[in-house]
Structures are given as structure tokens and as C-alpha cells.
Chains A and B, each alone.
Chain A
């Protein structure tokens, strides 16, 4: 109702209602006023809780972090003197910062790409006519419900360097054990495995929901045209899922750039390895803030991370726009 009201709020029909005596006119005028107000204000009221919450939990911390980042600021001692952009200059000059940026992107790529691909395949399988469908569908979500710390415990046991299950198996097969905690790439792979374990099922369910929205007659037509299951997947399902794929890619980009839990629990001290092999940006923020108690520097790095995410989001947006318009031209 509200929507149609908003579309034509000053409908002439309503204004040209015949008068029904003074009382009636006044009552009508009042209710008219109310409905006018209703039309104008209500939509904003309805959406305001989000913006109020956002201002409290999103905007305020963001602005306050910027304020903190311009000062020397101790976690316990609090605000120190104003230092301008010194904290930013410090961060950008740190090799640790750039190492963290590299690690973050490496883990992000290693986890996001296979995740989206595997999730698509899993969703396609779940979309098929399976026995006990709900069981399988719930099943893929189980890893997501497991707390990241618990995942960390399990995978630490698998990926322990000397007596870990995976290395024991490699040794049994006559291969060299992998140095999960000292080799950079190996540690990224191990962490990406944890991330994929948790998030693939979740993304698969999103894909599945989108797949079910594809009209079935499209598939029927494809079947009649003689397309096999594989051909249907690549030529019908995937193209029709494009908006969902874009959504999943964007959300996993943001999540991937903020990755913390999995690398944090990959060893006991949680600093990302003795040579910072797997220290991500958020872990670097944590080290600066809670390890060195330097809130100013931690806030500066937090803002740099924010800017990086905005940059990536912009890139994402541009690519998305292109893909979307290409899709439209077809």
C-alpha cells in the first residue's frame, strides 16, 4: 500500500472529493494530513533502524578510529599528543605492513577462487534429484556452524609439521613432509583449506537458492535441444547465476581481506609465524594494538585496510558493471 501511495501521493482523485459537511471535511482534512505525513515520513522511519544502528556500530567507530590514528595513543594510557599522519607514514614504511598485505591477498586468492568453483559444483549436485535432499543440504552447512577456533584445533592437528596427520601420510607414501609452519606458501594453503572448509557449504547454499530460481522450462528446452548435463551447467546454469556469483565474489572479497580467525589459531602465539609467514593485515593490527599497545598505529593500519577494501570494492563494481551490461546485450 505504502508503495503505491508514494508513487502518486497527490492523486487528483483524492483532492477532488466532494465535501460532506464541515465536520466531515475537517475529519477528512485531518486524516489526509496524517496520511500525507504517513506517506512522507513512514518509509524513512521504516528504514531508519538500519541507519541508526549503522551510525552507532559502523560510522562512529570508523570516524573515531580515524581520530585515534592521528594521535599517539596507548591502549591503557589513552590519548597522547596529536601526531598528524605520522602513524600512516610509519605503517607504509614498515616491511611488515607490506608483507601482511601480500599474505592477505595470497590467502584470499587461494581461498576465494577454489571456494566459488567448488561451491558452484556442490550446488549443482544438490540441485539434482537426490535422495534425502534436505539431509545433504543441511550437511554442507555443518562446517559453517563449527566455531573457527574448533576448526583451528582440528586443522592444527592435521597440519602439525612433525607428527601431523597429513605429514605422517606423506611420509608413509614415501614423500617429503611439507613444512606447514615455516614455508610461506604451504602455510597459506593450510589456512586457505580451513577457510574453504568453513565457507564452501555456505556459498553452495546461496548458489543453490539462486539455481532453484532458474525457470525449469529453460532446462527442459535445453534437454529437448539435446544438451547434456555438463553442457546445461556451463551454458545455462552458470550464465544465469551471474548476479549471484558477483554477490558471492564481493562478500568473500570483503571477508577474505579481513581474515583473522583462521591464521590467528594456526599457531599458539598467533603472530603469524616466526618470520611472519602468514601474518595478515588484521593480525598486524592486532599485534600493534594489543601486543604493542600502540592504538594510534593500529588505527592507522586499520584505516589503510579500509581504503584497500574500498579500492577493491570499486574495482569489483567496475568489473561487475561490465559483466552486467554484457549480459544485458546478449
Chain B
């Protein structure tokens, strides 16, 4: 009997552990939030984010403004981790935070299940965001599922030292002029660079350039009714060919897969002269290129404006405090707070008003040769005029496309034609 009772204790302990590991979602609100409940009931709101949103100070501020609210922050290290967490708990029907941050590319899938998220439409926040930002989170029947946080307007970052060695202009205004406003002129500048400096490449990765180019197409892989057009879309075919021609025939690519160890080392070894950079990429470049002098940002983006990434705050309907959560999400995404988050972690705001704020426009970045990053990215954000339609299969097809480019550009196991064939097979198997 002794053994049995010991086992009971053990299994009970194991069960407790298992329960606490799975998180069980929001903490019981009754237990916390005792400090001076003025008027309304004390509540604990959980907020799930990933990477860096720059919200730590803002939470403290909100708690001071609203003594009945206690905020619990759950921060995932990577977007993939956050996405897996979100989808599994959505599927399970419980365990999500009161506010969940989602990335722009996850939206097409989530928009299929509008009843899992609270409608955040409110006259108080009408017209707060850039049009394309709000549109991406709106269902066909007009429900707003997420409040926009940061955005990813793209510019071109370049290594002035390498340009200097190749005898090209290095001052950011002149560089912008040299790069031009079309992809052709960008590749042309690359050829001039390559001719003078054969040891370095013009850009880091075919995949990254394709990402920038395809984000300027109205329709990429799917029609609005869900028909997959990825393999027939002439624009996709042309983009694919153009990128790979520049990468292999013209030798402009450093043949590095983005986010790989080789890519990270490439910043240190001067493997490439330019890279497309959304606002949030500045921190990544600074981290990878620490100790390397010469990085700068040109106020230009080939082929018109472009947006890469950016997030939203959603309020899942499984939460117990949706009204309070909506209020907090609205406050966090208000222009004043977005400026504070930008100052803290460099997340570039997606609000119209924030883009004109002097705090933002005055922002400079010491690592990028003191470039006026606030002003540059504000202009880049205003230049974005196309939001590509992304359907439910976007994620999977884009993965297949990136693999197709990698096979030719990085692995060199295929040529453009045979890799395209494999891409077609992959899309058919979805």
C-alpha cells in the first residue's frame, strides 16, 4: 500500500506539472489585481507577443493609468514559435492570451475563422492606420480582426565601404539616385559594381530580392476565390526568371540563404554590398555586422514602395475579458504609444498620425552612419501603394517558391527551368 500511495502522490505531481506546462491560459483573475481597485473590477490581462514589440515600459504605464488592470506578458522568442502556439490553441479552443499578437502573413488563414476573434471595429480608431495596413486585417464583410502595430516599409541598406572600393558613389542621396526606381536600374547598378569589384556580390540572396519584388504584385499565387494561379501567373514567372538571371548569369548574388549562418557571417566578411531592409531589419543588420563600418540606408526602393512584415494585436473570443483587452489593444496601438515602442525597439509605426510625429521624424541611427531613419522609413511607408492579395495557401506556396530559388541560387543543384518544374510539382501536391 505504501508504494501505491507514493505512486498516487507522484502521479498527482506529474499531472500538476503537465497542467502547468501546458499553460492553461490566463491566470485566475480573482487571485491578482488586488491593488486599489477603483470603481471597476480588478482584471488580469495576458498579452502574447514575440520577438521585440517594445511594450515592457508601456505595460507599466498602462497599469499606472488603470489601477484595476494587471498585465501579464508572455513573450515567445521567435515568430514560428508564436504561430505554432497560436494555431494549436485556437484549434484546442482554450489557452490563448487575452491579446495575441499576429504577423501580417498569418492573417489570410486567420481571416477564415472570423468568429474566433473579436470584432475590433470602433469609431474611436477609424482612420488610424495606413489603408493597406487596416485592409489586411479586415474580413470581406467588414470585421476588423486586429489593430495594426508596426509595419515593414522597405528601403535599401548598403555597405558604403564596398561601394567606395568599386569606385561608386557612397553618399546616401547619390546612392539612391544610382540605384534608381526600377528593378532594372537596381540590377544595372549591380553590374557596374560587379565589374569593378568581382570579389563581392551585389545582393545577399535571390530569395530576399524575390520577396521584395513579389510583394509589389497585386496577385501572386491565388485569386480571390481561392483558385491557385501560382504556376500560371506570368508575373510570377517573369519575376522568378529576372531574379535568377541577375543571381546566376550576372553573378550579382552572394548565394546566401537568408537567416543561415553563412548569411550572418556574410555581413562580417563583406560578401555583398546591398540588402533590402524593412525597418525591423536594421537591428538584424546591426547585430550581424557589429564592428563593421560603412553600413548606411538609402531612401529608395526599386519598383515603387514595398512592405515586408509587421504585426497586429488581436483579441481571441475565447478570452474572458474581451472588452478590457480591446481597450488595452487600442491604447497600445495609438500613435503616441507606437512612437514610444519605436524609440524602445525600432518597431516602425503603421499609424498615419505617427508618421508625421516629430519624435519619429527626428530619429537617427548611429550604426547606419547617423542616417535619418525615422524620416527615411516614414517616406518609404507612404510610398507603399500595393498590397498583394494573400490567400490561405500563400504560406505554403511561398515556401515552395523560396525553396525553388534556393535550389538554383544557393544549392546550385538545379537550373532555373528544372527547379521551376519541381516548384510546379510542389504546388500541385498542396
Show the binding face of A for B, using Cβ within 8 Å: 45-46, 49, 53, 75-78, 94-96, 156-157, 160-164, 179, 181-182, 267-269, 271, 273-275, 290-293
Contact = CB atoms under 8 A, between A and B. Distances in A.
B113 A77 contact: yes
A160 B268 CA distance: 15
Contacts of B429: 94, 96
A164 B256 CA distance: 13
Residue in A53, A161, A162, A291 with the greatest tally of chain B CB atoms within 10 Å:
A162
B407 A163 contact: no
B7 A76 contact: no
B402 A162 contact: no
A237 B413 CA distance: 47
Interface string B149-191: 0000000000000000000000000000000000000000000
B260 interface: yes
B21 interface: no
Given A76-B90, A76-B91, A182-B412, A45 B4 contact: yes
A275 B91 contact: no
A275 B403 contact: yes
A273 B269 CA distance: 25
Interface residues of B, number: 41
A53 to B, nearest CB: 8
A19 to B, nearest CB: 30
* Prevailing SS type, chain B contact patch: helix
A contact face: mostly helix, strand, loop, or mixed: loop
Contacts of A291: 395-396, 399
Given A45-B4, A162-B262, A290-B87, A269 B399 contact: yes
A47 B262 CA distance: 53
A265 B270 CA distance: 26
B7 A49 contact: yes
Nearest to A181: B411
Nearest to B7: A49
B84 interface: yes
Given A77-B113, A275-B413, A292-B430, A49 B261 contact: no
Contacts of A179: 411
B409 to A, nearest CB: 9
B257 interface: yes
B256 A162 contact: yes
A161 B413 contact: no
Contact of A269 (B116, B266, B402): B402
A268 B260 contact: yes
Given A160-B262, A179-B411, A274-B410, A46 B4 contact: yes
Contact of B410 (A53, A78, A182, A290): A182
A160 B11 CA distance: 44
Interface in B243-284: 256-262, 265-266, 269, 271
Nearest to B268: A163
B257 A267 contact: yes
Given A76-B90, A274-B410, A275-B413, A292 B261 contact: no
